[in-house]
Amino acid sequence: MNRRKFLHFLALLGLSPWLMSPVKQRSAAAFGNVTLMHFTDCHAQLLPVYYREPAVNIGVGQAKGLPPHLVGRHFLDFFGIKPDTALAYAFTHLDFAEATGIYGKMGGFAHLATLIKQVKRTRGHENTLLLDGGDSWQGSATALWTKGEDMVAACNLLGVDVMTGHWEFTYGNAQALANIKQFNGEFVAQNIGLTDEAMFAADAETDVVFKPYIIKAFNKARIAIIGQAFPYTPIAHPRRFTPDWQFGIQERHLQAIVAQLQKDEKPDVIVLLSHNGMDVDLKLASRVAGIDVILGGHTHDAMPRPVVVKNTAGKTWVTNAGSHGKFLAVLDMEISKGRLRNLRYQLQPVFANLLEPDAQMQQLIARIREPYLQKLQQPLAVADRLLYRRDNFCGSFDQLLLEALRVATDSQITLSPGFRWGTAVLPGQEITYEDVMNHTAITYPETYTHTLSGRQLKAILEDVADNLFNKDPYYQQGGDMVRVGGMRYRCDPDAEIGARISGLRLAGGELLAADKLYKVSGWAGVGEGLTGKSITDVVCDYLQSKA
């Protein structure tokens, strides 16, 4: 759909075009003296995409029924967004397939670059800062094939000033360090340190791997930005990628850094650039005093408004900026007399149909993709339904992966990780090699086949459910429930540890027996020595056999 038709549709829906371009709307009334822009979890999607927000996002404990665990109409009602509008399309799953025909794709680095330049023009280049919350250098075929170097180039051109990381580390620490060396901005992470063994081997006097924070000076303000990388990297991914580094939330260390900053550096504002996940950030904000704003990522929660958390120092504003390049958070701050006086926050949707692509970024993207275009555009099949990933328990693209695994391995039960990244494919749309890679482009894609007992299968499901539904956010690692094929079960998220999973049955209805053995296949295992066929090849073979 072209821009003129899009604007016509907006008028029919009662939406003025300036509502869809908040920068233009607010330029005359912009306030404050510093503007932070924040995006996160783009997962290497250089082109505009379809990405369906979740229909199921269950919160437990104190998070039950509250942001970020609101979806659909509950989300719209809470944030005051009208249904059947462009904003409803951007923020929810409602009527997603139909709405794509009106509003089109979102994101894309060329369109994001245009929006960023608009913000800089209206606020003044000297008064702005662009922050990247991580998961930017992984998630696509070209990122995997270039080991993240394509995204380093794109982020440099975009003008990222500060970033932290997560999936960036899955290229291995040597490649991660090489990429960071090429990155023009600052990479910060207060919660990564050398292991004792690595310190001894290197005869190092300190365990510091990355700068914990940086200070950015503006005309009338100084801002400290502390980095918080994903704290569970060695657990969620194979340990071999980061053998010399130790991670963690490091709450006490963070509090000590904040205190040291307040004593020695005396910044006007302290910002935590976080990849904890929003539930973890909300708890952290209640326990660590002195942080003014947490700009969060990892859990892919698109939050139109920050959550204000009270603590012993006053309050902390906690946000999360969505994923896949769909949004740009714009935080205008009024800073005077040494502290943050007021702020205005807006999570701006990046509608590719409304933003002209930046020519320079578009040229870079074309150069990156050109050597791989024939492979990327290889047709495999046609989607007979909407294929998507994001939901707490299963998505239709996950079901495709599970069925391909079952056919390839002749297994009774198949497992697929609950990753939250992966773009959507519309009904009737051609499924290409690139579409498959958008769900499988990792450095450990090998499939595996094991023999597991019913008791072991229940234990696996209980372990993942505890990761997702533990009432203490510090025990949540993010992601969704492991996807399961050939078997069904009941899950009570509010139950205690070990009692959430019940009623395990094979697809035919037979109850799983605790001591009976079953053939189980999966992919993306964190163990060592897995040598099975890559999940990408498994899925491509399956799709071509059905075409």
Spans of all domains in the chain? 3-27+42-112+130-367, 377-546
Q: What is the pLDDT of residue 4?
A: 53
**CA separation for the pair 495, 279 (Å, rounded):** 19
Comparing CA positions, the residue from 330, 365, 320, 274 lying closest to residue 129 is: 330
- pTM for the model stands at 0.94
Residue 41, sorted as left (phi over 0), alpha (psi -120 to 50) or beta, turns out to be left
User: How many whole angstroms separate alpha carbon 96 and alpha carbon 53?
Assistant: 9
pLDDT at res. 30 = 61
Q: Specify the DSSP class assigned to residue 496.
A: P
Contacts of 445 (CB under 8 A, 6+ apart): 523, 524, 534, 535, 536
For every one of its 547 residues, what pLDDT tens digit does the chain have, with 9 covering 90 and above? 444 554 544 444 333 343 344 333 334 456 789 999 999 999 999 999 999 999 999 999 999 999 999 999 999 999 999 999 999 999 999 999 999 999 999 999 999 999 999 999 998 878 999 999 999 999 999 999 999 999 999 999 999 999 999 999 999 999 999 999 999 999 999 999 999 999 999 999 999 999 999 999 998 899 999 999 999 999 999 999 999 999 999 999 999 999 999 999 999 999 999 999 999 999 999 999 999 999 999 999 999 999 999 999 899 999 999 999 999 999 999 999 889 999 999 999 999 999 999 999 999 999 999 999 999 999 999 999 999 999 999 999 999 999 999 999 999 999 999 999 999 999 999 999 999 999 999 999 999 999 999 999 999 999 999 999 999 999 998 899 999 999 999 999 999 999 999 999 999 999 999 999 999 999 999 888 788 999 999 999 999 998 7
DSSP strands (E only) in 183-292: 186-187, 193-194, 213-217, 222-228, 245-246, 269-274
**Considering only CA atoms, which of 227, 117, 207 is closest in space to residue 162?**
227
Query: What CATH architecture applies to the domain 377-546?
Result: Alpha-Beta Complex (3.90)
Burial of 337 per CB tally in 10 Å (0-12, 13-18, 19+): exposed
For domain 3-27+42-112+130-367, the CATH architecture is 4-Layer Sandwich (3.60)
Q: What is the pLDDT of residue 124?
A: 83
Which pLDDT tens digit goes with each residue over 54-67?
999 999 999 999 99
